[in-house]
Structure 1
């Protein structure tokens, strides 16, 4: 069967937030791209994902012309609450850093990105099957895929691997070149989405003897709650009544009394891991987002890291095409990984301080309480948490 061939400047594998944002930003700078997404558009838009945007992510979307609905419907949060020992400590982002975060779900970001691609005839291929990378070490890399039973080849100057942890991009880097670092956590997050008003107007992160809990929201009538749960559990093991009862038991009494419960409209258990792959560039292949790194959701960094990767990558590609410089591309991996590892450290720290590990003993618990106590006592400790949470400079 004959193969249909197409050429572009940048082939982007993965049509999630990282890939579609990269395509949008490149278009604004006159760089051509084609996005290949293995799932359908409806599937991508149905995924329930993170909902906290760093200050820099909001700036990035706004400067890219994607801020209208974000600023109208998103919820600016000037702090978060840490609950432990039956009390609550507010970390005041605005007072400590002069910046804030915005609660605006990844699904909404994705809607805005696809809307922009539609408006400007962005090239995105959904349901692209059997995606494979070729000759990434040469100056003529390409990507093959199948669409509706027809074989296609996409030739490009560069390939951006934005296809997530399980995509083919990272595996195109030879094993003797790639180094990976991983920490798998011995528990998961059981998440429930409910059409109920949030228990708090800001997020509550709870450390309790029963395990971690998080109170979050999507809007004033849509709440997202989590409790730490064993990895071997299934969502079917958790009735709504059991979930609400456990959540209340892990919150301070005053928060539990204010909680409005209701039927769950989505329930799932997500495993937690920290993962980093180095380098993020090999030949003409450049990784971004979950293809290169995963963080536990405790620090709200996953989506934000993907967006900062894309900003660095876009700058490097635009500088290459506009000025003929390869400096940004040559330094892309090292530059990006410096920020990645700081976010990995913060997410790991939040996870270890707030969760109960299977082998947690009395000593470990007291260390957690000491860490949280320092936040109560020292403004410098609160400022460090706040600076990391609202986002380090891009």
Structure 2
């Protein structure tokens, strides 16, 4: 098989890149080791920057998001028993949209299927080959038969544990990582959200977040020890703990119900650089991970796909390598700013083992400054809605 761009991974980064390339008339094939149902079964993020929504519109996959997504113009920061609203729209002119990553993936899958593009699911033992030469290839096993795909370029969109980054010689790549000493215990419930905007709560017992997937489905999180297991958190214990970490009004208005999904996610900041290795390019979680506090993971995958699609368009339409040569630096510039913002939000809102009384007062001072300074609130808003591409 021959294609121009071999895309490894059928998550949002790979699917969006594939659709962007299709709009430019650039042939591409996606290889995915799991089934479509498995990919859709992964519960992930649910907040889209305006730039991500615009990219979905560009590839014809944004209609359902506009119909079902919830547009938000602000968030609330809770500390000291009170809530304070941060207006996102007034200083930035932008909004965010609540729309689940699973739904984004489904919309992109449907768009790809409608366009008649090739996706090979359950492709085992995928391996990028000779990507440091002018003749890259990708081998894989399908139904017990080994296949090889020749291509011009390889896009590694296969996540943190994928084969793409792992195929790079260790001496050719630098990684930067911080593992956070806690996790997020999250539940999904068929209950109306406690607030029409997200509540980020700093509390002495630990961080809490109130968000949603729709007007009838809520997503709640509490900070918990990394060694905890979901079996230690029956629903009653979760709801009791969440109420303790909210302001009184939110605790009184919280509608509880049985969880339909419950999991504990570890938090890390991770960046690999560069994001280009010869004719293979990394995008999305294959190159970087951020804690979910800043809602940047999916949105960084989208901006990577945008930069990479533009670079390939320049290569094929304008016979220029400027875009692919600049891809890594351009993407990493935006990535590191998002990593900084996510780290800052995480540091300001969570309880760390060494927080202590001094650290707790510093956090409260920082939060008080943010909610009472127009400049600080505007900075938060600018980063939260997404920096320009």
TM-score (norm 2): 0.99
Query: 1:3 matched to which residue of 2?
Result: none
Tell me the alpha carbon deviations over residues 279-331 of structure 1, each in whole angstroms, 9 at most, x when there is no partner: 00010000000000000000000000000000000000011000110000001
CA contact 2:86–2:371 (8 Å) conserved in 1: no
SS in 2 for 1:371: helix
Query: 1:167 matched to which residue of 2?
Result: 162
Query: 1:323 matched to which residue of 2?
Result: 318
- 1:297-308 alignment to 2 at 5 Å? 297-308=292-303
Query: 1:282 matched to which residue of 2?
Result: 277
Q: After TM superposition, give the deviation of residue 393 of structure 1 in Å.
A: 0.2
Q: After TM superposition, give the deviation of residue 63 of structure 1 in Å.
A: 2.1
Query: 1:356 matched to which residue of 2?
Result: 351
- 1:180-195 alignment to 2 at 5 Å? 180-195=175-190
Query: 1:253 matched to which residue of 2?
Result: 248
SS in 2 for 1:210: coil
Structure 1 CA distance for aligned equivalents of residues 62 and 27 of structure 2: 23
Tell me the alpha carbon deviations over residues 128-175 of structure 1, each in whole angstroms, 9 at most, x when there is no partner: 101111101000011111111111101110000000000010022211
Q: After TM superposition, give the deviation of residue 98 of structure 1 in Å.
A: 1.1
Query: 2:171 matched to which residue of 1?
Result: 176
Structure 2 CA distance for aligned equivalents of residues 306 and 63 of structure 1: 16
Say yes or no: does 1:338 pair with 2:344.
no
Structure 1 CA distance for aligned equivalents of residues 114 and 54 of structure 2: 21
Query: 1:206 matched to which residue of 2?
Result: 201
Q: Aligned to 1:52, which of 47, 50, 57?
A: 47
Say yes or no: does 1:312 pair with 2:313.
no
Tell me the alpha carbon deviations over residues 225-251 of structure 1, each in whole angstroms, 9 at most, x when there is no partner: 000000100000001000000000000
Structure 2 CA distance for aligned equivalents of residues 153 and 310 of structure 1: 24
SS in 2 for 1:38: coil
Query: 1:14 matched to which residue of 2?
Result: 9
Q: Aligned to 2:77, which of 74, 77, 82?
A: 82
Say yes or no: does 1:24 pair with 2:24.
no
Say yes or no: does 1:101 pair with 2:96.
yes
Paired residues in the alignment total: 389
Q: In structure 1, list runs of 5 or more residues that go unmatched.
A: 1-5
Structure 2 CA distance for aligned equivalents of residues 117 and 132 of structure 1: 23
Query: 1:391 matched to which residue of 2?
Result: 386
Bigger Cα displacement from structure 2, 180-189 vs 166-175: 166-175
Q: Which 4+ stretches in 1 moved above 4 angstroms? A: none
Q: After TM superposition, give the deviation of residue 360 of structure 1 in Å.
A: 1.2
Structure 2 CA distance for aligned equivalents of residues 83 and 50 of structure 1: 21
Structure 1 CA distance for aligned equivalents of residues 224 and 282 of structure 2: 32
Structure 2 CA distance for aligned equivalents of residues 69 and 171 of structure 1: 36
Aligned CA RMSD, in angstroms, stands at 0.6
Tell me the alpha carbon deviations over residues 366-392 of structure 1, each in whole angstroms, 9 at most, x when there is no partner: 110110010122100000000000000
SS in 1 for 2:299: helix
Structure 2 CA distance for aligned equivalents of residues 174 and 71 of structure 1: 43
Structure 1 CA distance for aligned equivalents of residues 241 and 91 of structure 2: 33
